[in-house]
Structure 1
Amino acid sequence: MVSLNMERKWVFPLVISSLICMFLLVTSFNMGLVSSVYRINSLFSIFPAHISMNQRKPGYAESKINQGALPPPPGPTIPRFAYLVSGSKGDLEKLWRTLHALYHPRNQYVVHLDLEAPADERLALASRIKNHTIFSKVGNVYMITKANMVTYRGPTMVANTLHACAILLKRSKDWDWFINLSASDYPLVTQDDLLYAFSALNRNLNFIEHTSQLGWKADKRAMPLIIDPGLYMSTKSDVFLATPRRTLPTAFKLFTGSAWTVLSHSFVEFCVWGWDNLPRTLLMYYTNFVSSPEDKMIRSNAAFARKFKQDDPVLDTIDKDLLGRASRSFTPGAWCSGKPKCSEVGDFNKIKPGPGAQRLRQLIAALAIKANLGQDQCK
């Protein structure tokens, strides 16, 4: 697919990819936490803005594969995901819709509207979560009510992600992978599909898009020193340059890639708890590091797509053709009970994977072959 123009506020790939890859190198060499690293860009996709809904529909893989239901795996093997869904000013409705499309009672969710969002938007989100029948009953949706100031080209974006990880680790130990999304992202598969596709995987695997070929970014991103006002100001302003410039690091290697990752629980623990000093060292290094908005993603049988505006008609097509989701409701799954559907929580240890699960499993199988051959890893 053709890449959309990236809104810089959601992308900090050079920062997060290098940070993650450095952690992975240490853990894989010294601690044995990570057995393989896969490319995350295969799990995410971008829709071109100029393609109409009629053009999109034939491209979905579901129309080309058997529509028969797949047998779910045994209950104990079904994983759990922990999500961060972030937004800013004007993103309340987008975030609310994405949260409903992603929701499953097995998972954990942290949502965040940054400090640039008006207080009434943040209060409205908190009220919706508190008064929502399912959310209040299951208790797996948490809002960061003390909003962070986030400058999306600076280190405050990394700090916000680590903040969400810390909350998820504190609230529940019972999840397997962390996924960070924005309010402008949207799933292309149901949560039952995603849970099924990941059920057979080693729980220590991490999915990261990365490359060590920095090119022009070495000079324009890695060597300049910046100051992020979000670290000390209560109002948002852009980062600014400081002098002098610095040389490239020799104690570790820089990588660039996508800000969107799927990280194992064990790796998130290492990043947040930091029993090795590397996480703290790298975070301090990136305090003066400018992130890059030039991230691009490739066409693939993706699990998620981006970047959507509010009430984009393409979202209605995804809801209808891929998710089976009714307006203002949850994406249906085996957990759904009651009338109307999904108004009550049934057995959330059961899943009913559909054609999206088969599509995603094929993608993961292809990635696994590369991993077994030692390809696509931080080197």
Structure 2
Amino acid sequence: MQNPGTTQPQWYSSSSLSFLSSALFRDPKPKPILYTFLIISLFSILLVLSLSSSSPSQTHTRPDPFLYPTHQTHRIIYDQDKTAPPPPSIAYLISGSKGDSGRILRLLFASYHPLNHYLLHLDPSAPHSDRENLALVVQSNPIFKAAQNVHVMGKPDFAYAKGSSPVSFTLHAASILIRLSINWDWFVSLTADSYPLVTQDDLLHILSFLPKDMNFVNHSSYIGWKELRKLKPIIVDPGLYLSEGTEMFYATQKRELPSAYHLFTGSSFSILSRNFMEFCIWGVDNLPRILLMYFSNTPSSLSNYFPTVLCNSRQFNKTVINQDLLYAIYDGHRNDLRALNSTDFDDMIRSGAAFARKFQPDDPMLDLIDQKVLDRSPGLVAPGGWCLGEPGNNTCLTWGDASILRPGVGSQRLEKAIVELLSNGTFRSRQCI
């Protein structure tokens, strides 16, 4: 996310956002010596996805009716715009590693809303006891128990940051969330070092005015130095087929870049539509499978796979916004994201981003975001329009209608950022070029 200027902000109405978005969106074969590596990796990914979609669903009791009222007598009415569209739902994957269970829970509390769906994941480096404790906390929380929208992956996936297994893991998690619910509209994958910069009421309110097929993905066809270091090298990622961690294998050969499609690169974070995730998972089109095979032995494939599939698909290449709504600062010397600190706070908030990364564990900035942005008390979920308790106590122990949103100033910052993306005259020129 680019740092904003210092000019006085100008607020836009949600109707202008709705008008802009509707107007804009209306209308090689591998070498034989590498073949074995490619086929093994591809079938490993497909096997994981098929197992996740074919496993029997667990039986659940129905969610609390006061969170999702079906009769007018249960509904609590606020003074809100009667013309506002119904709020959407977001499917969150929140993942971490050894020692991250506390950070995952904090991120869950900060980004929680009864309309959303959450899948929590601790990778195999974390002891199984941490996974069990995480599940116990979720099951014992009265809000999560009432809404029944938080789940913990009992059998974790390996995901090597420099390999291709993060693509497999992301598709696996999305397929589980698709099987768990048919009611979500966007997919967001958050790591334990991320944090929201707006409330869920703010985010859902703004997304309700946008077409549900929009995808927020940083992307560029300029490959540059990544050609030699990220695309031509050939790796074998053990996270795809081994049950324990081991060293990643680099082959001595280099691959040729494909000519049948254009490669795009971007960031590992994105906000993807449900339609697009189903397109990648179900594989009714050959494109996602072909690119899955190509990137299955490519370093850092997560930052390349989704932008490449989106921009080479006629069905989806007009749905891309070249901005992921994430505030992050890239450290070119370390070839990684720089940890955010207190000097970044003002720019971070003014940016209009929905999320930020990366934060150190228990960073004081997280407390500042809780106090000044989310109005969240330690150990509690961030309050929203569905919370009816008295201020000063655990306000969300008394529930209203989950579809009632009370957006605040965070929605104005986010709306301003999206309107500028759609109306600055460069939207189409930056789309899959």
Alignment partners' CA distance in 2, 1:366 and 1:72 = 24
User: Structure 1 vs Structure 2: percent identity of aligned residues?
Assistant: 45
Say whether 1:176 aligns with 2:185: yes
Aligned residue among 302, 319, 322 for 2:370: 319
Alignment partners' CA distance in 1, 2:145 and 2:221 = 44
Alignment partners' CA distance in 1, 2:205 and 2:148 = 23
Say whether 1:369 aligns with 2:423: yes
Conserved 8 A contact 2:85-2:209: no
Conserved 8 A contact 1:334-1:351: yes
Say whether 1:308 aligns with 2:392: no
Tell me the equivalent position of 1:258. 267
Tell me the equivalent position of 1:154. 163
Conserved 8 A contact 1:258-1:295: no
TM-aligned CA deviation for residue 103 of structure 1: 0.2
Q: Which runs of 5+ in 2 are unaligned?
A: 4-23, 27-77, 304-333, 339-346
Aligned positions of 1:38-57 closer than 5 A: none
Letter in 1 for 2:177: L
Conserved 8 A contact 1:72-1:353: no
Deviating above 3 A after TM superposition, structure 1's stretches of 4 or more consecutive aligned residues are 69-76, 292-299, 370-373
Distance 1:209 1:125, change over 3 A: same
Aligned residue among 222, 242, 254 for 1:233: 242
Secondary structure class of the residue paired with 2:213: coil
Secondary structure class of the residue paired with 1:261: strand
Aligned residue among 123, 147, 157 for 2:132: 123
Conserved 8 A contact 2:86-2:403: no
Tell me the equivalent position of 2:148. 139
Alignment partners' CA distance in 1, 2:247 and 2:161 = 8
Q: Which runs of 5+ in 1 are unaligned?
A: 4-33, 37-68
Alignment partners' CA distance in 2, 1:240 and 1:256 = 23
Distance 1:295 1:204, change over 3 A: farther
Deviations 1:101-141 (A, max 9, x none): 00000111111111111111111111111222111211111
Conserved 8 A contact 1:224-1:241: yes
Say whether 1:290 aligns with 2:305: no
Alignment partners' CA distance in 1, 2:278 and 2:136 = 30
Larger gyration radius, structure 1 or structure 2? 2
Structure with greater contact order relative to length (CA < 8 Å, sep ≥ 6): 1
Size of the aligned set, in residue pairs, is: 317
Tell me the equivalent position of 1:27. none
Secondary structure class of the residue paired with 2:254: coil
Letter in 1 for 2:431: Q
Conserved 8 A contact 1:103-1:330: yes
Conserved 8 A contact 1:370-1:376: no
Secondary structure class of the residue paired with 2:430: coil
Letter in 2 for 1:191: Q
The two structures, once aligned, show a CA RMSD in angstroms of: 2.5
Secondary structure class of the residue paired with 2:428: coil
Say whether 1:348 aligns with 2:402: yes
Secondary structure class of the residue paired with 1:268: helix
Aligned residue among 284, 294, 297 for 1:275: 284
Letter in 2 for 1:185: S
Aligned positions of 1:29-68 closer than 5 A: 35=25
TM-aligned CA deviation for residue 235 of structure 1: 2.2
Distance 1:165 1:255, change over 3 A: same
Tell me the equivalent position of 1:199. 208
TM-aligned CA deviation for residue 214 of structure 1: 0.9
Aligned residue among 248, 252, 275 for 2:257: 248
Conserved 8 A contact 1:73-1:199: no
Alignment partners' CA distance in 1, 2:103 and 2:160 = 20
Say whether 1:93 aligns with 2:102: yes
Deviations 1:275-296 (A, max 9, x none): 1011122112111101179466
